[in-house]
């Protein structure tokens, strides 16, 4: 069993905080998820999480105009420069202060960031020019009296706008312009959340405008003062020189001479709320505004003076919208709601959702894989059961019937039914075909179920937990009635597991015992097996001969099921120890006393054991030798408690209290944020007096191996983490070249570089060229080229071969079958893991093979019948020519002549 698993994807969390952005092609949305970044492909309906982590939760992200370089900045201002296609960190940088906004210039040369009261422009790393310093400070811009909130570039990349909490907007030039002083736009009565420069100074029908939006719901449109008349709300103290600008573009040379004034004032008039986020699209003149009550408004600000119309408003969330983005075409709108973890993509013209995803509101407690590994079901503290597609990464159904936390979920053997146990005292069965709750199992006495097991035939379901008598209840799935009650435990039931054959049930309890029950035998008494501490989790080996049990003291005990004796013991407390919480008074090295495994899972071969618990580590052990094979650190996010190995003594105050323990919610700018943090009014004595500031603690609540053995999942504080042996990122280096022509492809074929030529032909995407290269590959090279073919082109090549076989454009029957054979042999696992994605291609291949089989079989059968006829005729001819007598020779000769004539 291999142990070199790598992080592949993050499910269960789609958005946490920060800003969401579209890629330049408009086909994908990039969303910050904790200290990671997820990319959602809206066209192919897939999601992937990039394989890098910031030090803390990501606060701002930005993508360069080419869509290659991504910068992610955390809460402390530490940034990572990342290659988006390869998910590789190129550079680490520290801005040394929280960055409220970051923007790449439209020409991709500059990076504009906020730095408190100032704005800074950094030179963006060039892909063609090598430099020892990826970031070089170009200029620092001052003038605001409070923190800058947002930034915006002009289309020519020579001017930019800054908005601030001091209720002003300022316009700066990137390079110094003689006689130019930054323009100051005043008049708003609250913080300005956004400002945009639109229009073209050289086009008389599209004069430049500045659009500003403030938090109190006011929208001002600024135009050239010479056209709208004098206005006292703008800065009018500059003298301008006709040749003062050092910029290059004509329209940008004229912007420094514009005298700005308010052309019109507009108000959103949404009572009882305020603006939280906004954005503007220059191509469609559409302004999108998000409000604190979960409503967004779509407004059109046309070129005519005073034009301002509300296209429509819609409530997309129950909490405030924290981020909004518009795709380059202006058709799709992306929204993020931080408190609920929602990510929405809305097409405003058709008024339909392109994407609507939401993770668990509280922690995720449990997970289970389907038999084919394509579906994952999770349960959380929010009482919801969610079903995820492991290939696409999206949740496609949510069951909200439970009234309390979901503690355990299990799949039936067939994979079409899931069972969930909850603290509300019910166990529910859900049908994944009709998406409904078709059975609900309850106990005679109130029980908080935190243990669940389903037999392999899915005819019996067993549950236990905390309740009167500490009993284990056995239900019939068909009737929904209790068929048996197992008694004997003296403490709460913590875990249950059926043997692979379904004839035995193992239960673990807080009474420090393990019991093995004969489910269909006549033996009533069960001899308990003693543990050193309270039992927490149990797992059956796939062959049913061994069971593993984890205890509260960090040990894992192995028992022989047949003999009922302990075989071995793993002392895992030191392996899972690590990570110091900010309120701990002991070091991380000595904090193993509170560490334990609360979830176990065997590999498919039963040789290794996966274990996770209340720590930042997940361990894989060798069951035969009892040694640690590998330890995975599931998160490096310092925003979570328990990820640091050493605490910073510089954060301790004179009283010995850490800065992290001080509740600074009263300093939040919004009243709603302060109330959400405290839940009480200042000066009142009501509410939770024990409430204090805390950070979520990193831990793993459930771990499971996929039935395929190629991946495993962990339900953690961050969400559902998937680790896999397969590389999920397939990079195509030929995408970067622009020299792919029919001539270069033919030259590559003449050099016998067949694989390169085939990939280049697919990149050119000309059918005649693909066919030419395909048929020029020698027969003896097929096996090698098929094995080395990049996975990106596997489905495309199969589709090409199948179409050629179906329409009859290729007569090379053996050649095509050999290609299909070696492709399926070399890339079978890749195709199986993406069965839903490649299903149309595989159906086309199957149709081509069936058509070929039909035509060949008809011809073969016809030839077979003809050959049999000829053989029979030959045998008859030989029998007639045998010399029996002289008299018979003549007759045989006559018959032979007759046969000869007949044949």
Joined tokens for residue 614: 């209340």
Tens-place pLDDT, residues 535-576: 999 999 998 899 999 999 889 999 999 888 899 999 988 888
Q: What integer is the mean pLDDT of 305-331?
A: 89
Specify the pTM: 0.81
Look over the chain and give the mean of its residue pLDDT values, rounded to a whole number: 84
Is the pLDDT higher at 648 or at 900?
Answer: 648
Q: Where are the alpha helices (DSSP H) in 341-488?
A: none
Do residues 425 and 403 lie in contact, with contact meaning Cβ atoms separated by under 8 Å?
no
- β-strands 58-63, 69-74 pairing: antiparallel
Tens-place pLDDT, residues 144-196: 999 999 999 998 889 999 999 999 999 999 998 888 889 999 999 999 999 99
Please report, to the nearest 10 degrees, the dihedral formed by the alpha carbons of residues 23, 28, 31, 36 taken in order.
Answer: -90
CA-wise closest residue to 849 among 822, 823, 824, 813: 813
| Confidence (pLDDT) at 729 | 56
Q: Measured at the alpha carbon of residue 294, what is the angle toward residues 357 and 313, in degrees to the nearest 5?
A: 100
Instruction: Please give the CATH number for the structural domain made up of 16-141.
Output: 2.130.10.10
**Whole-angstrom Cα distance, residue 628 to residue 556?**
12
| Confidence (pLDDT) at 687 | 42
| Confidence (pLDDT) at 243 | 37
Tens-place pLDDT, residues 211-233: 999 999 999 999 887 655 444 45
Question: Where would I find the beta strands (DSSP E) of 126-250?
Answer: 136-141, 148-153, 159-164, 169-173, 183-185, 192-198, 209-214, 218-224
Domain boundaries, the chain: 16-141, 576-722, 778-854
Tens-place pLDDT, residues 334-388: 999 999 999 999 999 999 999 999 989 888 999 999 988 889 999 999 999 999 9
Q: Give me the residue label for tokens 């006393």.
A: 593
Sheet holding 385-389, edge to edge: 364-369, 375-380, 385-389, 395-399
Tens-place pLDDT, residues 578-634: 777 767 666 666 665 678 899 999 998 888 999 999 889 999 999 988 899 999 999
| Confidence (pLDDT) at 344 | 94
């Amino acid at each position: 069993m291999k142990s070199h698993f790598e992080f592949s994807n993050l499910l269960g969390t789609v958005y946490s905080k920060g800003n969401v952005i579209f890629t330049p092609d408009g086909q994908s949305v990039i969303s910050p998820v904790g200290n990671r970044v997820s990319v959602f492909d809206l066209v192919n309906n897939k999601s992937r999480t990039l394989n890098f982590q910031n030090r803390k939760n990501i606060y701002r992200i930005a993508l360069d105009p080419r869509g290659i370089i991504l910068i992610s900045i955390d809460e402390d201002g530490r940034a990572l420069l990342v290659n988006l296609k390869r998910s590789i960190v190129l550079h680490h940088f520290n801005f040394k202060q929280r960055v409220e906004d970051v923007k790449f210039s439209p020409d991709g040369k500059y990076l504009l960031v906020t730095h408190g009261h100032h704005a800074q422009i950094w030179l963006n790393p060039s892909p063609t020019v090598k430099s020892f310093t990826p970031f070089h400070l170009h200029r620092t811009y001052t003038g605001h009296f409070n923190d800058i909130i947002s930034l915006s570039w002009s289309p020519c990349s020579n001017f930019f706008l800054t908005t601030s909490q001091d209720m002003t907007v300022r316009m700066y030039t990137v390079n110094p312009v003689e006689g130019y002083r930054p323009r100051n736009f005043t008049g708003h009565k609250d913080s300005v959340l956004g400002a945009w420069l639109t229009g073209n100074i050289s086009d008389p029908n599209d004069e430049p405008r500045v659009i500003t939006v403030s938090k109190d719901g006011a929208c001002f449109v600024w135009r050239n003062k010479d056209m709208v008349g004098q206005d006292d709300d703008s800065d009018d103290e500059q003298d301008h020189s006709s040749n003062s600008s050092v910029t290059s573009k004509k329209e940008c040379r004229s912007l420094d001479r514009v005298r700005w004034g308010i052309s019109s004032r507009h108000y959103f008039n949404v009572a009882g709320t305020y603006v939280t986020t906004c954005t503007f699209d220059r191509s469609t003149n559409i302004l999108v505004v998000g409000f604190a009550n979960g409503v967004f408004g779509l407004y059109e600000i046309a070129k005519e003076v005073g034009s301002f119309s509300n296209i429509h408003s819609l409530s997309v969330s129950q909490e405030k919208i924290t981020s909004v983005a518009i795709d380059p075409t202006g058709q799709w709108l992306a929204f993020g709601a931080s408190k609920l973890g929602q990510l929405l993509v809305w097409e405003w013209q058709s008024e339909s959702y392109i994407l609507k995803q939401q993770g668990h509101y509280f922690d995720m407690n449990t997970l289970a894989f389907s038999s084919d590994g394509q579906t994952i079901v999770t349960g959380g503290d929010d009482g919801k059961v969610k079903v995820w597609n492991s290939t696409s990464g999206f949740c496609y159904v949510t069951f909200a019937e439970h009234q309390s936390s979901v503690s355990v979920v299990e799949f039936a053997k067939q994979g079409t039914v899931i069972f969930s146990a909850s603290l509300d005292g019910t166990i529910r069965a859900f049908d994944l075909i009709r998406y409904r709750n078709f059975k609900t199992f309850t106990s005679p006495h109130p029980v908080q179920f935190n243990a669940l097991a389903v037999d392999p035939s899915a005819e019996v379901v067993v549950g236990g937990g905390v309740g009167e008598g500490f009993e284990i209840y056995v239900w019939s799935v068909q009737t929904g009635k209790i068929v048996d009650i197992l008694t004997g435990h003296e403490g709460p039931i913590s875990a249950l597991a059926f043997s692979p054959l379904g004839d035995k049930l193992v239960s673990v309890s807080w009474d420090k015992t393990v019991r093995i029950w004969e489910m269909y035998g006549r033996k009533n008494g069960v001899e308990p097996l003693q543990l050193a501490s309270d039992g927490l989790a149990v797992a059956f080996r796939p062959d049913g001969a061994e069971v593993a049990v984890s205890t509260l003291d960090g040990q894992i005990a192995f028992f022989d099921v047949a003999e009922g004796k302990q075989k071995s013991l793993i002392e895992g407390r030191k392996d899972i120890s690590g990570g110091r919480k900010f309120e701990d008074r002991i070091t991380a090295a000595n904090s193993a006393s509170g560490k334990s495994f609360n979830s176990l899972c065997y590999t498919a071969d039963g040789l290794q054991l996966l274990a996770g618990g209340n720590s930042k580590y997940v361990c894989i052990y060798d069951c035969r030798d009892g040694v640690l094979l590998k330890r995975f650190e599931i998160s490096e996010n310092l925003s979570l408690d328990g990820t640091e190995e050493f605490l910073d003594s510089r954060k301790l105050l004179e009283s010995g209290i850490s800065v992290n323990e001080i509740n600074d919610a009263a300093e939040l700018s919004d009243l709603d944020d302060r109330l959400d943090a405290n839940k009480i009014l200042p000066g009142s004595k009501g509410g939770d007096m024990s409430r204090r500031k805390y950070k979520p603690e990193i831990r793993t609540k459930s771990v499971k191996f996929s039935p395929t053995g190629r991946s495993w999942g962990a339900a953690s504080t961050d969400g559902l983490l998937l680790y896999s042996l397969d590389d999920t990122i397939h990079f195509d280096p030929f995408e970067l070249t622009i020299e792919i022509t029919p001539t270069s492809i033919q030259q590559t074929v003449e050099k016998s570089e067949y694989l390169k030529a085939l990939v280049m032909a697919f990149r050119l995407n000309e059918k005649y060229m693909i066919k030419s290269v395909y048929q020029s590959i020698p027969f003896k090279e097929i096996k090698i080229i098929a094995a080395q073919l990049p996975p990106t082109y596997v489905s495309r090549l199969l589709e090409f071969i199948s179409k050629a076989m179906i329409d009859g454009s290729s007569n090379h029957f053996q050649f095509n079958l050999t290609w299909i054979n070696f492709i399926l042999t070399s890339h079978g696992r890749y195709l199986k893991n993406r069965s839903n994605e490649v299903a149309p291609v595989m159906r086309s291949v199957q149709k081509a093979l069936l058509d070929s089989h039909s035509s060949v079989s008809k011809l073969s059968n016809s030839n077979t019948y003809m050959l049999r006829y000829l053989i029979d005729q030959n045998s008859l001819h030989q029998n007639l020519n045998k010399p029996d007598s002289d008299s018979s020779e003549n007759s045989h000769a006559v018959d032979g002549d007759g046969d000869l004539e007949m044949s």
